Amino acid sequence: EKLLQSLDDGAIDFAIVESSFDQGRYESLLFSNEPIVAVCGTGYEAPEEMTLSELMRYRVIVRERHAGARRILEHKLAEQGYTLEHFPARYEVGSLSAVKGLACRDCGIAFLYEKSVQKELADGTLRRIVVKDFSVMHAFSFLWRKGSMYRALFTQIYDQLKD
């Protein structure tokens, strides 16, 4: 929302956003589709693979209410008939670092963008949990104000960033 407001105010020329936006006001290109994965610390007692209903037996660690990844997770859970309240316990924290820190300390299961936990998965401080009947993908869009005279420049920047 802050990025879209900055675009509208003319403070920035383009943005990469994870949220939905008014397609009538902005031109956009798909930047990437990113998976959100379930992770936990290596000492957390949870199987490496389970169903969504089995997952509901464990603590979950989530970002604050207005965080994009949390809204996406809540929407996907709702599609399956669940809410965050179905988990027996929830930790709600204000930053990605706090979510990762709690997960690394075996405090529960977190749902995070796979790219944001690549390092921790590689170095073994987090492990991935495969939820057999549940997957979350979300699009990131590169966008700018509709009708901008810099459209050609923005598409060049987009192409450079994609490489």
DSSP the chain: -HHHHHHHHTS-SEEEESS---TTTEEEEEEEEEEEEEEEETTS---SEE-HHHHTTS-EEEE-TT-HHHHHHHHHHHHTT--GGGSS-EEEESSHHHHHHHHHTTS-EEEEEGGGGHHHHHHTSEEEEEETT--EEEEEEEEEETT-TTHHHHHHHHHHHH-
The pLDDT of residue 92:
95
In the chain, % of residues over pLDDT 90: 84
Determine the pLDDT at residue 18. 83
CATH code matching the domain that covers 2-162, chosen among 3.20.20.70, 3.20.20.120, 3.40.980.10, 3.40.190.290: 3.40.190.290
> In the prediction, which pLDDT does 74 show?
94
Task: Judge whether residue 20 has pLDDT over 80.
Answer: no
pLDDT tens-digit series, residues 27-80: 999 999 999 999 999 999 999 999 999 999 999 999 998 787 888 899 999 999
CA 162/CA 13 separation, integer angstroms = 18
pLDDT at 123 over 80: yes
pLDDT reported for residue 70: 87
Domain chopping of the chain, boundaries: 2-162
> What pLDDT score does 68 carry?
78
Nearest to 60 by CA among 103, 109, 27, 24: 109
pLDDT at 58: 97
Please tell me the predicted confidence (pLDDT) of residue 13. 96
Q: Give pLDDT, residue 77.
A: 96
Residue 19 pLDDT more than 90?
A: no
Q: Whole-model pTM above 0.75?
A: yes
Q: How far apart, in Å, do the first and last CA atoms of the chain sit?
A: 27
